[in-house]
Amino acid sequence: MKKVHVKFFAIFREWVGLKEEWREIEPGITVQELWNQYTANAKNPRVANIRAAFSVNQRLAKPETVLNGGEEVGFLPPVSGGAGKRPERLPKLAPRAPQQKAAPPKRRNNRRNLPSAQQSKPPTKPIEQTKPYSSSGVTRDFLVTNNPLSLDALVARVAHPSAGGIATFLGVVRDNAHDKQVKFLEYEAYPELAERMLAQIGAEVHERWSDVRIAIAHRTGRLKIGEASVIIATSAPHRAESFAACRYAIERLKVILPVWKKEFASDTDYWVEGPTMGDVPTDKADEIVAAQENKFGAPQKKFGVLSLAENAGGEIRTDFESV
């Protein structure tokens, strides 16, 4: 018997009841067959109703991929996909029984009898803070991190003397979803595979816009309202390519990145379900970019710019050109 290193993420981790383990297998078993073994004995049998994506050695794999032992196998639930969809039925938290607060006991104030050093305010517990990375500390164009994201750091990765336009996109945590108040979010990732998929997005961008430079960072862990979960920076000699590449990147990221989002709402918490990794082709992102280019690339409206008309005897006219 040989072993494989198996990893579970997000709702699969919760419903199977495992985060990771080394499991003995019969060489020749397929990834799908191994997954079926887990779902048959899962903590929550409903996990079998969720379509899974598979990875082997940190690369997407087909269900029929054969395992021979020694591989790292990932079982991946549908990715967040932006807003995604909320489960049809959400468990409601039972209301807490009202409790009557007891009156605090009267305490004798002996502060006047204490030495001056002891009369100062009690020390507060230090707040744990994670330092954001600086531009000099970012050594990769594609990064998944538990640290707060830095827009300056990403812009520094793509800026260069020939770049006439730099476009950026920040995805931030909002305070509502599905008509519910959101308190905070938690992001979970398969970091090694996620950075590989970000690099794939970068390669797709370069295939379409060869002059574009791109950098992407995605955050994991607990995020408060207003914090950035993802930043994309693109640069190009001209603004049109930079805009298009930035839009393409976020559309691809939402459907192939192994990052999962859990929303903690006013009455419950749930994983946001989007598409299954590998199901959405690149054509979809191309269509979205093309639609936006057509929308804004229609006959251009003109705005006032003073110029000297040709053959107009020195007459000053107002030409209207787009910015």
**DSSP result, 94-148:** PPPPP-PPPPPPP----GGGS-GGGSSPPPPPPPP--PPPPGGG---SEEEESSP
The answer to whether the pTM exceeds 0.85 is no
Same domain, 142 and 62: no
Q: Which residues of 275-295 are buried (b: 16+ CB within 10 A; e: fewer)?
A: bbbeebebeebbeebeeeeee
Element (H, E) at 192: helix 191-208
Classify residue 70: in a domain, yes or no.
Answer: yes
- Domain region containing 200: 135-296
Number of domains in the chain: 2
**Separation of alpha carbons 196 and 191, rounded Å:** 9
Neighbours of 72 (CB within 10 A): 16
Question: Among 76, 110, 125, which residue terminates a domain?
Answer: 76
Contact 255, 192 (CB under 8 A): no
Residues 6 or more apart in contact with residue 93 via CB below 8 angstroms: 267, 268
In a domain, 258, yes or no: yes
3-class SS of residue 203? helix
Which residue in this structure is represented by tokens 């594609």? 142
Coil vs helix vs strand at 245: helix
Residue 313 forms part of a structural domain? no
DSSP assignment letter at 49: G
**Burial class of residue 38, CB neighbours in 10 A (0-12, 13-18, 19+):** buried
Using an 8 Å Cβ cutoff, are 267 and 50 in contact? no
Per-residue pLDDT tens listing for the chain (323 residues) = 899 999 999 999 999 999 999 999 999 999 999 999 999 999 999 999 999 999 999 999 999 999 999 999 999 999 987 655 554 443 433 343 444 444 544 544 444 444 444 444 444 434 333 344 444 457 899 999 999 999 999 999 999 999 999 999 999 999 998 888 999 999 999 999 999 999 999 999 999 999 999 999 999 999 999 999 999 999 999 999 999 999 999 999 999 999 999 999 988 999 999 999 989 999 999 999 999 877 765 444 444 444 444 444 444 333 333 32
Q: Is the domain of 57 the same as that of 151?
A: no
Look at the block and give the residue holding tokens 């419903």. Answer: 15
Instruction: Spell out the residues 6+ positions from residue 1 whose beta carbon is closer than 8 angstroms to its own.
Output: 24, 25, 26
Closest-CA residue to 245 (of 299, 191, 165, 172): 165
Tell me whether residue 124 is in a domain: no
Examine residue 7 and state whether it is found in any structural domain, yes or no.
yes
| 244 falls within a domain | yes
The answer to the question of residue 320 being in a domain is: no
By three-state DSSP, how is residue 60 classified?
A: strand
CATH code: domain of residue 54: 3.10.20.30
Q: Could you tell me if 148 and 278 lie in one domain?
A: yes
Assess if residue 192 is contained within a domain: yes
